[in-house]
Chain A
Amino acid sequence: MGEPADDAILVRRVDAGDTDALRLMYERYGAIVFGMTYRLLGDRQAAEECTQDVFVSVWRTARNYDPDRAQVSTWLFTIARHRAIDATRRRAARPVDPHEEIWSADESPDTADLVSAADDAARVAAAMAELSEAQREALSLAYFDGLSHSEIAERLRLPVGTVKGRIRLGLDRLRVLAPTYALEAETET
């Protein structure tokens, strides 16, 4: 498990109007949400707008979060899954604009494929969230920032061996978690 207790406290603080708590949630999960929506939407601007929508939704619906139904990360990535699907459907359904590229018949996203891809993305994102804070931090710097072991060690002021071990253990954990990780019941209401 990651830090579900800490996450649940953050959500309670967000519900109380604490923007610092939302910032901490964003720092913890923002890159994963963005990476997930970027992969689903295929467009940086659309992914940023979607990520923004996700965290605004977290802010506005934090009181609906039920820790008995799902972990915070599961709840968060379920919101992201919904937002990405909505954004893709809106983009596919909007009126034809001769000045913009539009979906051709062959490229139009099939609903089943879209939902399946979104489920896969949410599952893997949730598995990443399950890593320990230390593993996720080191792995994220390698994965999202493209840093080398030595650069990460310098950034985190840790021995290189420690960084290597955290990254390896994080990947080991993902290898086990991601294929079997099941999204829990949707809790966004």
Chain B
Amino acid sequence: MSDEHRDRLAGEALGALDASESAELAAEVERDPKLAAELDDYRATVAMLESTVAREQPSHDLFAGILAEIEPQPAGRAAAKAEPRWRWRRALPAFAVGAAAAAAVFAVALAIDSSSSSGAPDAVAEVAGTPEFAGVRGEARLYGSTQPGGVVRLELADVPDAPDGSHYEVWVLRPSAGEAMEAVGVFDAGGAEVELELGLPGAGDYAAVDISVEPDAGPPEHSGTSLAGGTFQRPTT
């Protein structure tokens, strides 16, 4: 049996073959008992994996939660650590709060002077879609984040339009401000390329960005469903 055959058998056991390749292999397996036996062996290995390690990915913001727990907390914040992992907090610009209350569909928040995001960013996050939105990818960059007036600039690719009756909301995690995510803006239109520039809620050591799917006129808390997210990396000096 060739390595090429075994490559495809392993892929079939994992469900990693394209449909046409899978069908072609199935026909070969039916004709060849040795291939069938080898496929059974691979399937047994995958079954062993599945019985002990679930084929599930954690939320993209989980590491941000870990960071929030281990970063030094301001005095008087110790009690908060016993609370649930996330305490979502909305810090929307006034225009967005009004829009949410009216259950409207929101315009992209691009009210920031583009000159605010020129030069080298303070930190960059690779943004990746959650399993449900695996095609989404992009980058988030922080500018002027250590002082008031900073912005986060998002460049996303292959964003689907928000599902009917919902919109997207952008959140940032600033450990120095507590363990809550802060909302910084909303949008609903997807596209092959989506660019957003949103004001930050204040100076801080931003650790992560998250884009949630929120029901229109829903509660102010994070819905728990994320489109994409990423953690900020600062350039090494």
- Using a CB–CB distance below 8 Å, which chain A residues touch chain B? 19-20, 22-23, 26, 30-32, 34-36, 38-39, 44, 47-49, 51-52, 55-56, 59-60, 117, 120-121, 123-125, 128, 139, 142-150, 152, 161, 164-165, 167-168, 171-172, 174-175, 178-179
Identify the stretch in B54-62, B141-149, B151-159 within 8 Å (CB) of chain A at 4 or more residues.
B54-62
Task: State which of B10, B11, B52, B56 has its C-beta within 8 Å of the C-beta of A124.
Answer: B52
Task: State which of A59, A144, A161, A164 has its C-beta within 8 Å of the C-beta of B70.
Answer: A59
Interchain CB contact under 8 A, A52 and B62: yes
Chain B residues numbered 2-16 whose CB sits less than 8 Å from any CB in chain A = 3, 6-11, 13-16
Would you give the shortest CB distance from A73 to chain B, in whole angstroms?
A: 13
Considering the complex, give the chain A residue whose CB is closest to the CB of B59. Answer: A48
Interchain CB contact under 8 A, B18 and A32: no
Would you give the shortest CB distance from A112 to chain B, in whole angstroms?
A: 17
Task: State which of A30, A149, A175 has its C-beta within 8 Å of the C-beta of B11.
Answer: A149
Q: Is B66 in contact with chain A by the CB < 8 A criterion?
A: yes
Mask, B51-80, CB within 8 Å of A = 1, is: 111111111001101110111000000000
Would you give the shortest CB distance from B228 to chain A, in whole angstroms?
A: 14
Q: Dominant SS at the B interface? A: helix
Interchain CB contact under 8 A, A171 and B66: no
Cα separation A120 to B50 with both chains bound (whole Å)? 12
Would you give the shortest CB distance from A100 to chain B, in whole angstroms?
A: 15
Interchain CB contact under 8 A, A128 and B8: no
Return the 9 tightest CB-CB contacts between A and B, nearest first.
Answer: A164-B7, A35-B53, A168-B10, A38-B54, A34-B58, A124-B52, A121-B52, A142-B16, A39-B54
Given A149-B18, A171-B46, 20 new contacts (CB under 8 A):
A20-B233, A22-B66, A30-B58, A47-B54, A51-B58, A51-B62, A56-B69, A117-B52, A124-B52, A139-B14, A142-B11, A142-B14, A148-B17, A149-B16, A164-B11, A167-B7, A167-B16, A171-B10, A174-B49, A178-B49
Considering the complex, give the chain A residue whose CB is closest to the CB of B65. Answer: A52
Cα separation A146 to B70 with both chains bound (whole Å)? 32
Considering the complex, give the chain B residue whose CB is closest to the CB of A59. Answer: B70
Would you give the shortest CB distance from A183 to chain B, in whole angstroms?
A: 13
Interchain CB contact under 8 A, B3 and A35: no
Pick the most buried of B11, B18, B65, B85: most chain A CB atoms within 10 A of its CB: B11
CB contact under 8 A between A175 and B55, given known A48-B62, A148-B17, A168-B11: no
Q: Which residues of A contact B59 (CB under 8 A)?
A: 48
Interchain CB contact under 8 A, A144 and B56: yes
CB contact under 8 A between A39 and B53, given known A150-B18, A164-B8, A178-B48: yes
Cα separation A38 to B49 with both chains bound (whole Å)? 13
Interchain CB contact under 8 A, A167 and B85: no
Q: Is B212 in contact with chain A by the CB < 8 A criterion?
A: no
Q: Which residues of B contact A39 (CB under 8 A)?
A: 51-54
Would you give the shortest CB distance from B108 to chain A, in whole angstroms?
A: 28
CB contact under 8 A between A55 and B52, given known A34-B57, A148-B17, A171-B14: no
Interchain CB contact under 8 A, A121 and B53: yes
Q: Which residues of A contact B8 (CB under 8 A)?
A: 164
Cα separation A164 to B4 with both chains bound (whole Å)? 8
Q: Which residues of A contact B58 (CB under 8 A)?
A: 30-31, 34, 47-48, 51
Cα separation A124 to B15 with both chains bound (whole Å)? 20
Q: Is B134 in contact with chain A by the CB < 8 A criterion?
A: yes
CB contact under 8 A between A125 and B85, given known A165-B7, A171-B42, A175-B45: no
Interchain CB contact under 8 A, A128 and B16: no
Interchain CB contact under 8 A, B66 and A56: yes
